[in-house]
A and B are shown apart, each in its own frame.
Chain A
Amino acid sequence: MNWNTMLLMRQEIVLTIVILVLLLADVFVTKDKKTVNYIAIGLFAIHTLIGFLPLDAGSLFGDSFRTSPLIFGFKNVLNVGVLLIIMQSASWLNSKMLQYQKIGEFYALIFSSLLGMYFMISAGNFLMLYLGLELSTLPVAALAAYDIHSRKSSEAGIKLILSAALSSGVLLFGVSILYAANGSMYFANIHDNLGHSYLTIMGLVMFFSGLAFKISLVPFHFWTADVYEGAPTPVSNYLSVISKASAVFILMFVLFITLRELKDIWTPMLYIVSVLTMFIGNFFALRQQNLKRFLAFSSVAQAGFIMMGMLAANDLAVSTVVYFLAIYIFSNIGAFGVVQAVSIASGKENIDDYNGLYRTNPMMSLAIMIALFSLAGVPPIAGFFGKFFLYTSAASQGYYALVFIAVVNVTISLYYYLLVVRAAFLRNSETPIPYFRSDLLTRIGIIIVMIGLFFLGLYSPFYDYIQEVSKIVGI
């Protein structure tokens, strides 16, 4: 074995080093624990920059770890997302967790979870996929219960760990059935000798349900709202974007490449799940008062749109879904970032509390307006282009009825996104949230998100690059 091929795992190795250095730093910094924040963010920023250096395609460990330009690029998108999230979480840690000296673990857990996602999206067999999935889920459950003095946080943690354990159990049972049907764990071998028996169909359905828990598609979305509301806001942010995006990514690859022979089974399945997810996510979002629950149901509805884009099952579907995921990461981080900044400054999380926010905090109101418009898909902002490409992908294979349903759903979603914007801009309040100035890192994070939201939509080479690397995947 040539040691140079180990460099294909460069991102994983660098991230492991970052975690180890961070744990050491947490031990040795005893006086001012606030510095740990800056060490963690600095190390991760270096890791993100190193991640952009070019990397070869190839596979390791007998094909159980693969990397390709698309996987590599997606890891970079996840890196940028996590960097923005930890920049916003520093102020929460400083204000709530500094008194218990619990700063370093937060970053160590969030980076371990990211490491799990790396392994999950580069997986070449089901064993690697399962280990990556668990490594990405368990730290998040610990993070959801991070605020151990809050009852809601513990409740969110127990709900997340129990539903995650159940879902991975269902997924494993499905994998064992697929193993029984063809005798191999490797994606490439399964693709070659996959029969069309009832056994494989049952395996497919159970595998899909296991991952659907992570993406919170509709029959499996019950944990979403409670966990997002109870968990600390940076953790809800992480769950709603990074965790969901990587689960969508690997689901797409397993369905499109490994289980391609069963396309006539999973196409109607995705169709029904997509319609249900859009409608139920949107209708439950309409009646929410708490902004974190509201964003939870909005993220359920967005997952429905992603499933619509996946239906085409060709390289166009891959590129549109990845492009949409990148934009969705930015929009949701923007929305959660503002909610979190307001929550730290005033402790308020309800939509009615935002009445008159524009008069006291114009920049914050503008930021949440742009992020919500991007989620809804209003033209000049990136979210519109993401949704538009998803429609293109579905319409190119003739799913016109589904595109119509999706447009109806966008209209519904525009209504409830505008409720928040109306509260902030048009309504007045006797006691508006007083003026506050969030710390520097949060402001930089929100500004980067805002620039990204215009840039990703209007800068076309970004989409061209994704389209180009999706063609190499070989679907």
Chain B
Amino acid sequence: MILGVSIYEILTVSTLVFFIGVYGFVTRKNLIAMLMSVELILNSAALNFVVINKYLFPGNLEGAIFSIFIIAVAAAETALALAIIINLYRRVMSLNTDELETMKY
């Protein structure tokens, strides 16, 4: 718990980070930037878990453990996404979604 900082401030930050991530995911045209936006979303959820655990339910550790799992899985997800991006870059020589897309409605 941080002195002088209530749960409302921290939850406001994590919600802002979440929506910045969603906005970035929708507007960015670069695959790496989209991946970074997804990381923001996952980290905001992890932050939420830790803060809620610490401020509201300090008796147990469920939230903190969940956030560790989120970090581990997010790393696996990023590794896989980067592997696919590298493979795609070898084929197309670009990371711009407009140039990548061949399948459309």
Chain A CB within 10 Å — which of B45, B85, B101, B102 has the most? Answer: B45
A148 and B87 contacting across the interface, CB-CB below 8 Å: yes
Residue of B nearest to A169 (CB): B41
Complex: how many Å from CA A383 to CA B73? 38
Cβ B84 vs Cβ A154 within 8 A: yes
Across-interface contacts of A176 in B (CB, < 8 A): 45, 48-49, 52, 63
Q: Which of B72-101 contact A (CB under 8 A)?
A: 73-74, 76-77, 80-81, 84-85, 87-88, 91-92, 100-101
| Chain A residues closer than 8 Å to B25, beta-carbon distance | 162, 166
Q: Which residues of A contact B100 (CB under 8 A)?
A: 155, 158
Given contacts A173-B41, A179-B52, contact A152 B103 (CB under 8 A): yes
Assuming the contacts A152-B102, A166-B38, A183-B56, asked whether A172 and B87 have C-beta atoms less than 8 A apart, the reply is no
Cβ distance A255 to chain B, nearest Cβ, rounded Å? 21
Interface size on B, residues (CB 8 A): 42
| Complex contact B69–A155 (CB within 8 A) | no
CB of B52 within 8 A of CB of A158, answer no
Q: Which residues of A contact B105 (CB under 8 A)?
A: 225, 284
Binary interface profile of A, 105-134, with partner B (CB < 8 Å = 1, else 0)? 000000000000000000000110011001
Size of the chain A interface, CB-CB below 8 angstroms:
40
Residues of B close to A172: CB separation below 8 A: 42, 45-46, 70
Binds B, one of A37-45, A138-146, A240-248, A405-413: A138-146
Identity of the chain B residue whose Cβ is nearest the Cβ of A170 in the assembled complex: B41
Give every chain A residue within 8 A of B22 (Cβ-Cβ).
Answer: 166
Given A138-B80, A176-B45, A180-B52: A131 touches B69 (CB 8 Å cut-off): yes
**A161 touching B81 by the CB < 8 A rule?**
yes
Q: Which residues of A165-203 are within 8 A (CB) of B?
A: 165-166, 168-170, 172-173, 175-177, 179-180, 183-185
Cβ A169 vs Cβ B42 within 8 A = yes
Interface residue from A131, A142, A155, A173 paired with B80 (Cβ < 8 Å): A142
Contact at B49–A179, with CB atoms within 8 Å?
yes
Q: How far is the CB of A279 from chain B (nearest CB, A)?
A: 16
Cross-interface CB contact of B34 among A162, A173, A185, A230, cutoff 8 Å: A162
Which residue from chain A places its CB closest to the CB of B66 in the assembled complex? A127
Closest residue of A by beta carbon distance from B77: A165
Query: In the assembled complex, which residues on chain A have CB atoms less than 8 Å from the CB atom of B91?
Result: 151, 154
- Given A155-B100, A155-B103, A225-B105, CB of A166 within 8 Å of CB of B41: yes
Q: Is A226 an interface position by the 8 A CB rule?
A: yes
Beyond A138-B77, A179-B66, list 7 extra A-B contacts (CB 8 Å): A130-B73, A138-B80, A157-B87, A168-B42, A175-B66, A176-B48, A180-B48
A-binding residues in B (CB < 8 A): 18, 21-22, 25, 31, 34-35, 38, 41-42, 44-46, 48-49, 52, 56-57, 62-63, 65-66, 69-70, 73-74, 76-77, 80-81, 84-85, 87-88, 91-92, 100-105
Can you list 29 residue pairs at the A/B interface with Cβ under 8 Å?
A127-B62, A127-B65, A130-B66, A130-B69, A131-B69, A134-B76, A138-B77, A141-B81, A151-B88, A152-B103, A154-B84, A161-B81, A165-B41, A169-B18, A169-B38, A169-B45, A172-B45, A173-B41, A173-B44, A175-B66, A176-B48, A176-B52, A176-B63, A179-B52, A179-B63, A179-B66, A183-B56, A225-B103, A226-B104
- The 5 lowest CB-CB distance pairs between A and B, nearest first, are A169-B41, A172-B45, A176-B48, A154-B88, A165-B38
